Amino acid sequence: MNRIVSLKLAGETYPLLFSMQALVEICEKYNSLKEALELMGTDASYQTLFEVAVILSRSGADYLKARKKRAPRLTAEQLTFGNPFEIGGGALYNAVISCIETGAKQTVEAEESPKNAETAQE
């Protein structure tokens, strides 16, 4: 499953990724993901939405960079001074929510190994 959600803004495509690092940053800033989501839905200035989008964009760009791919990072200035018709209409909000939902669906599976079981018993 592809973990990256793309956001197209002003002719540029930005990768968004909900990673553990992004979750930690969001929780440090807003106390919890739940509080950030609530603020994104009620903040008339879009400040919370912009900040969460920038965190997710930085996470997406870092993820692609680790795989030797180049990706632009979204900045708060691009959102603040961007075209309101591109940012408005729920497109940015929908991209952020889609990114978080996609990341939340990821599961981590640990394979059991007879070797690991033997080591644990010693």
Query: Is residue 23 predicted with pLDDT exceeding 60?
Result: yes
Residue pLDDT, tens place only, 88-105: 667 788 889 889 888 877
Question: What helix, strand, coil percent values describe the chain, rounded to 5?
Answer: 60, 10, 30
- For residues 116 and 86, the answer to whether their CB atoms sit within 8 Å is no
pTM for the whole structure = 0.78
39-66 pLDDT per residue, tens: 988 877 788 989 999 999 999 999 988 8
Q: Please give the average per-residue pLDDT across 55-78, as a whole number.
A: 89
